[in-house]
A and B are shown apart, each in its own frame.
Chain A
Amino acid sequence: MYEESLFKRCRNTLVSGFFVYRTQIFGLLTGILFGFLMSRAGATTYDYHAKMFLFEDFQLMIVIVTAVIIAMLGVWLLKKTHIHAVATGEEVDFVKKPYQKGLMIGAALFGVGWGMTASCPGTIPAMIGEGKIAGLFALAGILIGTMAYGILQSHLQLAKQQASRSTDAN
């Protein structure tokens, strides 16, 4: 009977575990990096948001414009080289968010929330990590808002199904 050494078994468990959960592990690591960069960029400091919209300090505006331009060049380069993604092994999918009903109203509501809390869904977890208590309340709000949307959509779907069923019956 073939017996593997303890070291080999531990190593195999680790390697297969990493392989199975690679998207979760990569997600966690990229999340840590993202949170760190958001914090270093000043996006977790409330005053930069106020100063940007009052045109007193352009820190965040320069950050986002520079980031978009760099990322645009990178996306162009990745598209040209047809590079394969590390996690999936398939070609990188540049899936674009489609125009959806309510995009303009949703964006306007989001902007009001941005102005009120001086934070956005990406920076709120980073603020909590920094010990900002205001982030906890904003997080509770985001979960309530997302839940409200999910419940609303579920009800609309149900109403649509019932309507189509009643027309089928006729």
Chain B
Amino acid sequence: MEVIVWSAWLAGLAIGLFVIFHFWLMGKPAGCSTGYGNICGLVCQRVPYFRQGEYRHLNNAKLWFLLGIPLGGLLSALSSPEPWHFSFSMGMYDDILPQTYAGKAIWLVFGGALLGFGARLAGACTTGHALVGGAMLNPPSLLAGVIFFLSAFFTTHLLFGT
């Protein structure tokens, strides 16, 4: 699925303005990965961790923010010249990932689990730490952002064998 991609400067400007707009509208920093905990809390109600602290009220803005993202992706795909369709292609990754569908699926679930567990252990994901935390010049967030990047850099180089 090919979507229209804006020039990096324009997209960066738009996302920067989005972060400011989100602060003004919601009064809180934007974040993505926390919302997955809301879903976990709604699905499995017997885990005490998803009943307390920031998960005291599960039907909150973070959950609806997360539910809105696919609609945004859908809008973007529908307004692109290519007609909307399902695809399991991952571009350059198709050559280096497991070649069978099942292998690829297991690889992705394992990678996703690392993302979910790592994001909770670090406190936030790329949005919360690198983007919003970086904008507030929060030292732990900057540290986390640098480690995110370095770790992904080494992983990608190992995968592509360069």
Show the binding face of A for B, using Cβ within 8 Å: 23-42, 44-51, 53-54, 58-72, 74-75, 77-78, 83-88, 90-100, 102-122, 124-134, 137-151, 153-154, 157-158
A157-B113 contact in complex given A72-B137, A97-B133, A131-B77, C-beta closer than 8 Å: no
Q: In the complex, A46 Cα to B37 Cα: how many Å? A: 25
Q: Are B72 and A32 in contact (CB-based, < 8 A)?
A: yes
Query: Which of B44, B70, B105, B153 contacts A137 (CB under 8 A)?
Result: B105
**Chain B residues positioned under 8 Å from A61 (CB to CB):** 8
Q: Are A35 and B72 in contact (CB-based, < 8 A)?
A: yes
Q: In the complex, A152 Cα to B145 Cα: how many Å? A: 24
Query: DSSP class of B's interface residues: helix, strand, loop or mixed?
Result: helix
Q: Are A128 and B70 in contact (CB-based, < 8 A)?
A: yes
Q: Are A62 and B65 in contact (CB-based, < 8 A)?
A: no
**Chain A residues positioned under 8 Å from B32 (CB to CB):** 120-122
Closest-by-CB residue of B relative to A106 is B121
Q: Are A116 and B155 in contact (CB-based, < 8 A)?
A: yes
Q: Are B14 and A37 in contact (CB-based, < 8 A)?
A: yes
In the complex, how many angstroms separate the beta carbon of A16 from the nearest chain B beta carbon? Answer: 17
Q: Are B116 and A69 in contact (CB-based, < 8 A)?
A: no
Q: Are B23 and A74 in contact (CB-based, < 8 A)?
A: yes
Contact flags B126-160 to A (C-beta < 8 A → 1, else 0): 11111111111111110110011111111111111
Query: Which of A96, A102, A105 contacts B133 (CB under 8 A)?
Result: A96
Contact flags B1-32 to A (C-beta < 8 A → 1, else 0): 10111101101111111111111111111101
Give 10 CB contacts A-B under 8 Å. Answer: A28-B64, A32-B71, A35-B70, A53-B153, A74-B20, A107-B144, A111-B147, A131-B1, A134-B104, A144-B109
Q: In the complex, A118 Cα to B127 Cα: how many Å? A: 15
Contact flags B46-65 to A (C-beta < 8 A → 1, else 0): 01111000000001111111
Q: In the complex, A117 Cα to B159 Cα: how many Å? A: 11
Q: Are B67 and A28 in contact (CB-based, < 8 A)?
A: yes
Query: Which of B29, B33, B37, B60 contacts A150 (CB under 8 A)?
Result: B37
Nearest first, the 9 closest Cβ-Cβ pairs linking A and B are A141-B112, A31-B68, A111-B151, A35-B72, A145-B116, A70-B16, A66-B12, A115-B155, A85-B27
How many residues on B have C-beta within 8 angstroms of the other chain's C-beta atoms?
122
Show the binding face of B for A, using Cβ within 8 Å: 1, 3-6, 8-9, 11-30, 32-33, 36-37, 39-41, 43-44, 47-50, 59-77, 84-88, 90-93, 104-105, 107-141, 143-144, 147-160, 162
Q: In the complex, A115 Cα to B147 Cα: how many Å? A: 12
Q: Are A63 and B26 in contact (CB-based, < 8 A)?
A: no
Q: In the complex, A61 Cα to B152 Cα: how many Å? A: 13
Query: Which of B73, B74, B113, B147 contacts A142 (CB under 8 A)?
Result: B113
